[in-house]
Amino acid sequence: MTVTYATLVGNLNASMLATFGQSFTFTPALAPSTPVTITGILETGAELEDVAPGDNSIYCRLWVQSSDFTVGPLVGDEVSSATTVYKIVRLQEDAGGGLWLLLGQDRAVT
């Protein structure tokens, strides 16, 4: 039996998300903007903000599976936790089907 790299990485990604993942809500900024529940691993304190407002806010990063999105995420889209709404500032794909979203805190969930 031949096992491919994609299969191994896919299984590893699924295990990591099942073990360490949290639920988030992804809302595209462009219409139609139907919210979708995604699972991701949040890394807080990832890097200092280097663009306006430049108040030394700290970005966080969210690692997700690219395949979890029916509409690909874009800069400006929102990701919400139970307490906080974030805006996507930057995206970076990895070789194994994962996607890092650099998030800036936008507002508290009301």
* pLDDT grade for 33, boundaries at 50, 70 and 90: confident
Residue type, 45: G
Each residue of 41-94: pLDDT tens digit? 998 876 666 655 545 567 889 999 998 888 889 999 999 999 889 999 999 998
**Residue 51: which domain range?**
5-108
Q: What CATH code is carried by the domain that includes residue 46? A: 2.40.10
- Specify the number of domains making up the chain: 1
Closest by alpha carbon to 59, among 86, 23, 27?
A: 86
* pLDDT at res. 9: 87
Please name the amino acid found at residue 104. G
| CA–CA dist 77, 84 (Å, integer) | 14
Record the tokens describing residue 20, joined without a space. 């360490």
